Chain A
Amino acid sequence: AQSVTQLDSHVSVSEGTPVLLRCNYSSSYSPSLFWYVQHPNKGLQLLLKYTSAATLVKGINGFEAEFKKSETSFHLTKPSAHMSDAAEYFCVVTSNQAGTALIFGKGTTLSVSS
């Protein structure tokens, strides 16, 4: 069965420092993986996605993630945090090979201090 585990429920960083949000996945086939961000009172926004192309995926707002099959990981990184990055982040995997539904991780709350 497909699943994702976000290893940290809460990450706190200072503005200008690097961000690392960790995600491990379990899949019986080559998965499609995503990172979504949810700001308070706003809809989910797709940051980036991996669909069996390049293992290093670049997304919006300076975020990127690397698919590592050997480690079953898809960690999200950003070199320098901005105050506006404070939000809830979800690591997501497709629930089946057809990609028809998504399974969400429990989420990581990112706090950014000045």
Chain B
Amino acid sequence: GAVVSQHPSRVICKSGTSVKIECRSLDFQATTMFWYRQFPKQSLMLMATSNEGSKATYEQGVEKDKFLINHASLTLSTLTVTSAHPEDSSFYICSARDLAGVRETQYFGPGTRLLVL
């Protein structure tokens, strides 16, 4: 089946620094990737939809200047958490839609756990 990877799997950083998380579709092309955030014991909340070659679409309440998304190719999207603060600590998960597959199906990455000290 389709595989989505994320890197890094875990990151710890100091408050005020920026962190970049990569999301890659390994064996398929994805014009659309999605970024979710999951707090402990809670559900996934969609942050933004990343479209290859165009600007990301952010959900209400998500700061686009805080969470920079770049989707430069059909297999890679990046999420940069700028000037991270402890409240940004969370589990970030990306997903990708297979360009050639059923449109409703998203394949999820394993997630990146961010801890901001």
A residues sitting closer than 8 Å to B (CB atoms) are 32, 34, 36, 41-46, 49, 51, 90, 94-95, 98-107
Contact = CB atoms under 8 A, between A and B. Distances in A.
Contacts of A49: 104-105
Given A100-B49, A101-B34, A43 B44 contact: no
Interface size class of B (residues with CB under 8 A): 20 to 34
Contact of A43 (B34, B49, B108): B108
A36 B108 CA distance: 10
Given A90-B44, A107-B43, A46 B104 contact: no
B116 interface: no
Contacts of B107: 46
Given A43-B110, A43-B111, A44-B93, A106 B105 contact: no
Given A43-B110, A44-B108, A51-B104, A102 B43 contact: no
Contacts, number: 50
25 contacts: A36-B108, A41-B110, A43-B93, A43-B108, A43-B109, A44-B44, A44-B93, A44-B95, A46-B105, A46-B107, A51-B102, A94-B104, A99-B103, A99-B104, A100-B97, A100-B103, A101-B46, A102-B34, A102-B95, A102-B106, A104-B43, A104-B45, A106-B42, A106-B43, A107-B43
A75 B103 CA distance: 23
Contacts of A32: 104
A90 B104 contact: no
